[in-house]
Chains A and B, each alone.
Chain A
Amino acid sequence: MSSLGVPRPGYLHGLNPLTKIAVVIPAMAAVIVSREPVIPLALLALALVTVFTGTRLPARTVVLLLVALPVGVAIGAIGFGLWTDPARVDRAMVLLQVGDYRLYVGSLVAGLTASLRLAALLMLALVSGLTTSGPDFVRSVVQHLRVPYRIGYTALAAFRFIPRFRHDLDLIRQAHRVRGTGGRRGPLAAIGRLAGAIVPLLAGAIRHAERVALAMDARAFGAHPTRTERHSVPLRRRDAVFAVVFLTASGAIVVAIVVSR
């Protein structure tokens, strides 16, 4: 079937979506329980290496990862650092003092940790997120986790509603503004406007959903307990190899950091 598929630009694209999700879970758990910046940093690096070697990214994404990610981590570190309760950090060194307010180096370290943990979780999620299509994910969930295909494919169809609803909501807001609903200001008026938009949005959504359901029924959706899958999304030897390598690498990193302390 590969002649019909899109050319595959990297080994991550050839893996089962479930493998990619499963192998990052231990690493995510380690990031979540970690209380210092080294483990998140190391696992962030591992995730970056995996993504860069496993898929050919468009230039824009590369720039985003290499520039925006460090900048985001730095901003996050300062933001979380200012926010951290000083009573709970190492107050040995004062970085800066303004009147009564003291910013400790310990606060900044705590902020950096929180920021790195978020970045590491995001990057680990992107290992599968950047390289998996929605239909393939649904196929493998149906094939390997025995989720009924009626649920999986209905979810996929429903996913296509989103751009339409966004468009409808824009139109409804424009229409209501023309009617002069924008006169009042403040949060209560905003809530009122949103509530006013919900009725027409739902009326349209229900009608749309009914039509889609009719169209799916007319094409024998749900006729049998299973359906033909043109692409099977199998678990292959390469999935096992990738799982062993990634799990060993992430395990070794965590163990080495914990032991060296």
Chain B
Amino acid sequence: MTAETTQPGSAVLDIDSLRIRHHDRDAWTPDGVSFSVAPGEVVLVLGPSGSGKSTLALALDGLVPHVVAADVEGAVRVGGIDTADRTVAELSERVSIVFQDPDAQIVTASVLDEVCFAPENRLLPVEAVLARAEDSLRRVGLWERRHDDPGVLSGGGKQRLAIAAALASGSDVLVLDEPTANLDSAGVEDVYDALREVVADGSRSVVLVEHDLDATVSLVDRVVVLDGTGSLAVDGPVRDVLAGRAADLERLGVWLPTATTAALRLARAGVSFDRLPLTGGELALALDAVPELPRPVQRAQASTPVESEAAVVVRGLSVSRGRGRRARSILAEVDLTIHSGEFTAIVGTNGAGKTTLVQAIAGVVRPPRGAVRVAGLDPATATAGVLAGRVGFVFQNPEHQFVTQSVRDELAYGPLSTGMDPALIDERVDGLLERFGLTEAAHVNPFLLSGGQKRRLSVGTALIGGADVLVLDEPTFGQDRARADELVGLLSDLHRSGTTVIVVTHDMQLVADAATSIAVVAEGRLLAHSPAETVLGDDELLERAGLRLPPLAQAMRRVRRHPEWRSVSRLSQLPGAAS
């Protein structure tokens, strides 16, 4: 399957039958992977979670095995040099890396110091250090902000700084490991605009590990796909792989561009495409070329009880932080009613006040008296135990919520503290363990669970008190697609069984796929709270809130020939769904 597109001699990076096993694992991931990267080439590495993409990224500049101990077989050659023979410091001149978490890779107190860090460590003369720093900062558009503290940059700004700092090391290969997983959609655009600038002159090769293909597909030359066991599945030019082998990739559990996924489903429903589209624009053109399309599927769960009772009522809620001159308003006069049985997404840019709003609703931070009623209680006055019986809150990082030594104790903790009958508690705990697939792990320490298990446990602890309102704060932040999908599936199940779900998120496709209603928050004010279709159809509103349409809706807006398809925004509206 390995399409040898370049001569071995001309490759800047050559991966040869590479197998890696971490010391605490049994499996080799990646397992026997070979591919090479030509000068100026942009290579995207895809694979389901657990296939060893991040380990592979760390091996490219020698961090595996020099810093992160692991068994390594095969070889990684950088410019003909085997990484096993050189130190990480020497390799850093040839390969530099940008990591996922912006805060965990910034080490100095100014933007300029940050980009100077690598060349200074390499003992370059001062003039050379400054020349490289200026060049790198100008490329990512941060030169004017060189005296700022990196802490004041936005998430996207911090990642651009990390890219500049990597460029300043003077390497010809740039490795990016999930660089946008912690960013909102504006930050993702910000990072890819900068990266497009970096690869524009073809002087640097890029190896990119990323699951947001909608943002990246236009700048990638080649795609390398690993399968679930870490073996090489496909290697080839971007269109041959993503469009030509789309069905195979979908089977592997690899995320495709939204346009390709959509086309694949329509193809199953009998729509024929000359070639599968990769971008929204291509999808729209392809659909316009088809004379007849099936009708979009009507929403199955449009059964939100219209006249159901209100689960959450917010009236005139204002919150401010700080005092005196430094006081600033976070929320101003918010009125919001969420009915029982709704799946409400709360969306808005960073700092709009979304988290403050849901924290007030769930009583995490006590709201002013009388401003909020949730399931008949005022969170300003109710005790934590009583409140937990009506509304469950799931934090962004599940670990923050753990207070005991085992999964079973964790679930039983809340009910025990309210004095519930132990027999009844046991029964409920068993039920939830079963429901969330944690029965096997009942006696494991919560900190030792896998990421997906931790998330399910945190949802379980929020629900065990009998709450029928569940509030989640950015539950998919920093997670890969598979784990995010698993969570959305779980939430949709809960919603179908009657739980009112309120979720703060910046993942607009999640919003489009799962939410029945959307609340839009901007600068501390509630701009709208309407059925999901209404909000997603209101471009002017989304723009005012600084939001972008989900990728599928963006594509469908451009369809001319089939007006009934122009308002489609969720994948479940496409006929021919895989399930």
Binding site for B on A (CB under 8 A): 1, 4, 6, 133-135, 153, 156-157, 160, 163-164, 168, 171-172, 174-183, 196, 199-200, 203-204, 208, 211-224, 226-230
Contact = CB atoms under 8 A, between A and B. Distances in A.
Q: Identify which of B67, B116, B399 gathers the most chain A CB atoms within 10 Å of its CB.
A: B399
Given A183-B417, A214-B99, A223-B87, A229 B120 contact: yes
23 contacts: A1-B126, A4-B130, A171-B396, A172-B400, A174-B359, A174-B364, A175-B400, A180-B385, A180-B388, A180-B413, A181-B403, A183-B417, A214-B99, A215-B107, A219-B169, A220-B88, A220-B93, A221-B89, A223-B89, A223-B122, A224-B121, A224-B123, A227-B120
B523 interface: no
B76 interface: no
Interface in B106-123: 106-110, 112-113, 116-123
B103 interface: yes
B397 interface: yes
A163 B129 CA distance: 29
A52 B90 CA distance: 49
Interface of B: 58, 61, 63, 67-68, 87-90, 92-93, 96-97, 99, 101, 103-110, 112-113, 116-126, 129-130, 146-147, 151, 165-166, 169, 359, 362-365, 383-385, 388, 393, 395-397, 399-403, 413-414, 417-418, 447, 461
Contact of A215 (B90, B105, B397): B105
Contacts of A217: 63, 67, 88-89
Q: Identify which of B61, B97, B359, B365 gathers the most chain A CB atoms within 10 Å of its CB.
A: B97
Nearest to B109: A135
B402 A226 contact: no
Nearest to B447: A203
A230 B384 contact: no
A219 B118 contact: yes
Contacts, number: 165
A223 B121 CA distance: 6
Given A208-B103, A214-B99, A219-B166, 6 more contacts: A135-B113, A203-B399, A215-B107, A216-B107, A226-B123, A228-B119
Contacts of B103: 164, 208
Contacts of B396: 171
Given A156-B109, A183-B385, A228 B97 contact: no
Nearest to A169: B400
Q: Identify which of B88, B93, B116 gathers the most chain A CB atoms within 10 Å of its CB.
A: B88
Contacts of A229: 120, 126
Contact of B109 (A134, A174, A218): A134
Contacts of A153: 107
Nearest to B415: A180
Contact of B384 (A180, A196, A199, A228): A180
A-B CB proximity, top 3 nearest: A223-B89, A211-B104, A215-B105
Contact of B447 (A199, A216, A222): A199
Contacts of B58: 214
B461 to A, nearest CB: 7
Given A135-B109, A183-B417, A217-B67, A200 B400 contact: yes
A171 B473 CA distance: 12
Given A156-B107, A218-B88, A220-B121, A182 B99 contact: no
Contacts of A4: 112, 130, 146
Given A135-B109, A135-B113, A212-B104, A220 B118 contact: yes
Contacts of A164: 103
A215 B417 contact: no
Nearest to A174: B364
Nearest to B118: A219
Contact of B104 (A172, A199, A203, A208): A208
Contact of A177 (B96, B97, B110, B364): B364
Nearest to B126: A230
A41 to B, nearest CB: 33
Contact of A178 (B105, B109, B401): B401
Contact of A227 (B87, B123, B401, B414): B123
A215 to B, nearest CB: 4
A171 B92 contact: no
B147 A6 contact: yes
A204 B130 CA distance: 35
A95 B401 CA distance: 57
Contact of A175 (B118, B401, B414): B401
A133 B385 CA distance: 47
A219 B165 contact: yes
Given A157-B107, A216-B107, A228-B125, A180 B113 contact: no
A221 B363 CA distance: 45
Contacts of B119: 228
Given A163-B151, A171-B397, A229-B120, A178 B388 contact: yes
